Amino acid sequence: MTASLEQLRRCHFAVDLGAARTRVYVRGVGLVVDQPSVAAVNTRTGALIAVGEFAERMKGRTPHYIRVVRPVSGGTVVDIEMAQRMLRGLLGDKVRRALRRKPYLRAAACTPHEADPLARRAATETLVGLGARRVELVDTLIAAAVGCGLPVQEPEATMIMACGTTTTQVAVLSLGSSVAAERIPVGGEAVDHAIVQHLRHQHELTLPGQSVRPLHIALSNMGITAQGPASTEIRGRDVVTGLARSVQVDTAAVRNAIETPLTAVLDGIGRVLRECPPDLVADLVDRGITMVGGSALLPGLDQMLREATGMPVHIAEQPDVCAVRGLGYMLEGRIEPLMLAPIGA
């Protein structure tokens, strides 16, 4: 673990700055922010117009002088100043005032597994700009494993797969750190892209980014089995005429289209398992893989993993908030530090 539990227990708030969503946990209060990592700026005046849900709704619908930006990409803060302004906006005056009152404000943040020094620095700087005097960084996979109740501190293997926006991280954890891990550059975005391409080719329809969600939802209800709606109505723009049009999309065909990007994820899992010592692989046969992150909710992904690996696959409860919930548990001191029995005692 990057930061010690003792230090984490002294942090006042924890931040999970994701490419899709920003989540903030305040010690003693709980999850206070869970909003899209989006800010809308007036380029004429430089003023921040909106953040979070409201800014996301503006995407693709603004006049030219308003830009909708995402200051976080692939788990890394790419625009520190904008990320700070967005976080201030999301936290709101009340929470910020409460945090400012702390004499020595400490913050925790999670960073992707094996984040490079630049990415770690960017995360730290963002929180320092918010008034934190000290920032502890925690590996996202460890935070998420704690958040979904896996026994990370035990000498026993657990396999976790964090399905994010642009990356999927897979790791085998034991004794509080990772034994083997992989970062695969495929996430929810690649899957959405595959859906958009499918609609373009099969139905000659261009789709605004936000409209992929109804398809997800239709697919989620049905999962991999053929129950539920066989087709879903999707509205978009005709590729040829440029006019608005709606089509009935066959959900089974969409499911096939998203399988292609997901094969890279399966390859990554295979590599992690090969790298892992045999004793730990034996543990994994019973315990299986736990999926966290928003894209874990992708319909059929768990079933696909089950078939490909032959191992049990579980989706964590509320998989998208696992990382920040784990940080919260660490801040509240709800996980026991690793205690090895003294020799001869």
Distance from C-alpha of 33 to C-alpha of 89, rounded to nearest angstrom: 10
Q: How far apart are CA 224 and CA 220, in angstroms?
A: 8
Site track for ligand ATP across 97-136, x = CB under 6 A: ----------------------------------------
Among 268, 288, 294, 326, binds ligand ATP (CB under 6 A): 294
Binding test (CB under 5 A) with Mg ion, winner from 12, 14, 18, 135: 18
Distance in Å, CB of 16 to ligand ATP, minimum: 6
**Residue 11 touches which of ligand ATP, Mg ion, none (Cβ within 5-8 Å per kind):** none
| Residue 298 binding partner per list ligand ATP, Mg ion, none, with a CB distance cut-off of 5 to 8 Å that depends on partner kind | ligand ATP
Provide, rounded to whole angstroms, the least separation between the CB of residue 161 and Mg ion.
12
Q: CB 205: neighbour CB atoms within 10 A?
A: 22
- For ligand ATP, the binding residues in 13-42 under the rule CB under 6 A are 18-21
The encoded tokens of residue 198 equal: 């499918």
What is the DSSP secondary structure assignment for residue 247, as one 8-state letter? E
Q: 211: annotated binding-site residue? A: no
- Look at residue 168 and give the partner it binds from ligand ATP, Mg ion, none, a contact being a CB closer than 5 to 8 Å depending on partner kind: none
CB of 333 to ligand ATP, least distance (A): 24
Please check if 162 is assigned to a binding site.
Answer: no
For residue 152, give the DSSP letter: T
Side-chain-facing half-sphere of 10: CA atoms under 13 Å: 13
Q: Compare residues 164 and 288 and give the one whose CB is closer to Mg ion.
A: 164
How far apart CA 21 and CA 35 sit, in angstroms, is 5
Tell whether 300 is in a known binding site.
no
Residue 213: CB minimum distance to Mg ion, A: 18
The only residue of 12, 320, 325, 327 in contact with ligand ATP, by rule CB under 6 A: 320
Q: How far is CA 138 from the centre of its chain?
A: 14
Q: In the bound complex, what is the minimum distance in angstroms from residue 327's beta carbon to Mg ion?
A: 11
Rg (CA), the chain: 21
Partner from Mg ion, ligand ATP, none contacting 189, C-beta within 5 to 8 A by type: ligand ATP
- Secondary-structure percent of the chain, ordered helix, strand, coil, rounded to 5: 40, 25, 30
DSSP E strands, the chain:
13-17, 21-26, 30-36, 39-42, 48-51, 66-69, 72-73, 76-77, 106-111, 134-139, 158-163, 168-174, 177-184, 205-206, 231-238, 244-250, 289-292, 313-315
Binds 150: which of Mg ion, ligand ATP, none (CB < 5-8 Å by kind): none
Q: Is 164 in the site for ligand ATP (CB under 6 A)?
A: yes
91 is in an annotated binding site: no
3-state class of 37 per DSSP? coil
Q: Residues annotated as binding site?
A: 294-297
> Which residues sit at the interface with Mg ion, rule CB under 5 A?
18, 164
Q: Residues annotated as binding site for ATP?
A: 294-297
